[in-house]
Structure 1
Amino acid sequence: MTYDVHAHCIPTDLIDLLRSDGSQFGIEVVEDDRGVSVLLAGGGRLGPLRGILGDVDARLRAMDASGVDVQLISSWVDLTAYALDPGPGAAYSRRFNRILTDETARRPGRFLALGTVPLQDPRAAAEELRFAVEDLGMVGVEIATTVDGTALDQADLEPFWETAAALRCLVLIHPCDPLPGADLGRNFLDNMVGRPAESTVAIGHLIFGGILERHPDLVVCVVHGGGFVPFQLGRMQRGFDAVPHMSAQNISTPPTELARRLYYDTVLHDSRALAFLVNLVGADRVVMGTDYPFEMGDPDPVATVRSIPDLSDEDRHLILEGNVERILGNLTTDHRAI
């Protein structure tokens, strides 16, 4: 059974809810000739939303055509809605998680759900994470690389990380906010360069901020192959070794070891880069992803894994299914195998 850990979904029931009652969350749905967009209080305009994000039949056809048996579906990351005030943000996360759970139940055996949590209120996020996993049967959560511009190693996020480690659920980290001052608004650089750069910075904070060392039971996957980290991991290690008074204030474990505590998806679009990633961190830390349904995703992920040079059958099995099954099996609460 093959698993896609990186696939986005905006259920039509969510859009219907926001259209009729979004004001309770500080969210407004706008429809014009460009399609459906969402306005977040304090967070600007998101969209237009693609109808295919909520088209379950089209999703299943794409999965069948590419050999994907099960998708771990998560929100379009922009709709994590960290810009909302804490109260409405928590209410929105609760409704989203219930709706996404219902969506997975409509096609038994094909989907598992990754929820969203209101990280703008870390204690509420911890409570929602526990509810999503223990009560709704979700297998984890998707979070952005920053919380409305704030790094993931900030001290006030500790309740969330503690809860995620205790549950041993999957935390999928996805880029969302463009890096400030990088002038990436031209030539699609915000996506091609900015997205992996965001993931690189986030991993840097997780490693050098001490999150991964303090919480060894965390199960964290960073999309897009971990950004630029695999190619620059040696530089991180050099900084740890050569300039410890600046780099190693929060950690005693080498960055090369901490990087192997993460999982990385396969959305790299180059079999040589993917082979490098596998050789660097090990096949036991790589999982298949697609970034469905976006153009920058991988439409044929199983073929991508099979194209990795010199990959053994055992390692191929790990990437396609074994690693995800191990993650699911290590959850401290039963997940709903829908």
Structure 2
Amino acid sequence: MKIITIEEHFMLKNISQRVTAFNIKQNGGMPPANAAQKDLMALVLPTMDDIEDVGERRITFMDESGIDMQILSHAAGSPQNITDKKLAIELCQEANNELAGLIKLHPTRFAGFAVLPVADPEAAAEELHRAINELGLKGAILTGTFNGSFFDEEEFLPIFNKAQFLNVPLYLHPAIIQKEIAQYYYHSNNWSPVASAMFAAAGYGWHIDSGISVIRLIASGIFDKLPNLKLISGHWGELVPFFLNRLDEQLGITLKLNRKISDYYKSNVYVTPSGLFSESQLQFAISELGATQIIHSGDYPYLIDYNTRQFLENATISTDDKERIGYKNAEKLLRL
């Protein structure tokens, strides 16, 4: 059985440095990270593979873990959220070109998702078109929110229009949430500052935020406008699958949609484990969504788990479901 994992990250040091420089300039000089921020970064941000290192260290990990192919996407330091339109376009194009170059060196081991300059949604749609048709990438990744807005805002519709037109998915990935939200929900004198920071980030907060982004897109009626649009949501759907009944019974009755929230979710959203290798969560996802809506992922290098293949092989599910989740769904969705 082949194994294809689709939430696997890399970075480009040059681009990340330019993103950081832009952010410092915009903020009039960023204060140095405090001890809690440094401790958190050490916990959740590993030393990322720069693109020059991918072909060596990452392929060794893949071989040792039984992973046949990874679908790569830019992680920390992504140029997506650059608010200067010209610079955002320049850096996203450069990042996508670099990724396409890596894939050409290892075409049987890697494919990729584009990063888009969402400050200019029309330009982002054009870049998605270029990334798919000229560079051979397989979709795009949208990380967090942009400039205080979720992606259900009307201004971002050109990106989703283009994704449906090209028949490629958009991966909705978590990101650091807004400071005032983190302060209100996740900070307390009852635990340490680093615990507060983790609570607001990978410990819980940014997963809720990412799940809300999917719900907002459904509630906006995007799948009535774009019935063939496909989204991907990591970490077993960022808790949303566990609340589909509640969403139908409560939120759904207040919305003017053609179908139930759960219907859209089960037909238009794929979920991945993102390295959360829990069989109980796998079993729930299959029972709620069906194995055709699940694709394997390991969240490398945030989680480096040499049992990525064994988790699926040892799961008490049918061979057909293992093959769907392991590679068939990815091959179909991404046209690999």
Q: Smaller-chain TM-score range?
A: 0.7 to 0.9
**8 Å CA contact 1:153, 1:209 repeated in 2:** yes
Deviation at 1:39, TM superposition (A): 5.0
Pick aligned residue for 1:265 from 264, 269, 272:
272
- C-alpha separation in 1, matches of 2:49 and 2:7: 13
Provide the residue aligned with 1:130 in structure 2. 129
- Gaps of at least 5 residues in structure 1 are 29-37, 330-336
- C-alpha separation in 1, matches of 2:329 and 2:270: 9
Structure 2 counterparts to residues 216-235 of structure 1, below 5 A: 216-235=227-246
Provide the residue aligned with 1:7 in structure 2. 8
1:182 aligns with 2:188: no
TM-score, normalised to structure 2, is 0.84
Cα 1:164–1:17 change in 2 (3 A) is: closer
Aligned length: 306
Cα 1:215–1:77 change in 2 (3 A) is: farther
Letter in 1 for 2:13: I
Provide the residue aligned with 1:313 in structure 2. 319
Deviation at 1:183, TM superposition (A): 2.5
1:289 aligns with 2:297: yes
Deviates more, 1:143-152 or 1:59-68: 143-152
Deviations 1:171-198 (A, max 9, x none): 1110013252322564121211113212
Provide the residue aligned with 1:328 in structure 2. 334
Deviations 1:28-75 (A, max 9, x none): 3xxxxxxxxx95653769978754422221111111111110100000
Deviation at 1:305, TM superposition (A): 2.0
Pick aligned residue for 2:288 from 280, 286, 291:
280
Provide the residue aligned with 1:33 in structure 2. none
- C-alpha separation in 1, matches of 2:24 and 2:123: 19
- C-alpha separation in 2, matches of 1:264 and 1:68: 19
Cα 1:183–1:161 change in 2 (3 A) is: same
Cα 1:301–1:213 change in 2 (3 A) is: farther
- C-alpha separation in 2, matches of 1:307 and 1:41: 51
Provide the residue aligned with 2:113 in structure 1. 114
Q: Secondary structure at the match of 1:7?
A: strand
Cα 1:87–1:16 change in 2 (3 A) is: closer
**8 Å CA contact 2:46, 2:302 repeated in 1:** no
Provide the residue aligned with 2:141 in structure 1. 142
- Gaps of at least 5 residues in structure 2 are 34-40, 188-192
Cα 1:248–1:269 change in 2 (3 A) is: same
- C-alpha separation in 1, matches of 2:76 and 2:260: 31
Deviation at 1:83, TM superposition (A): 3.3
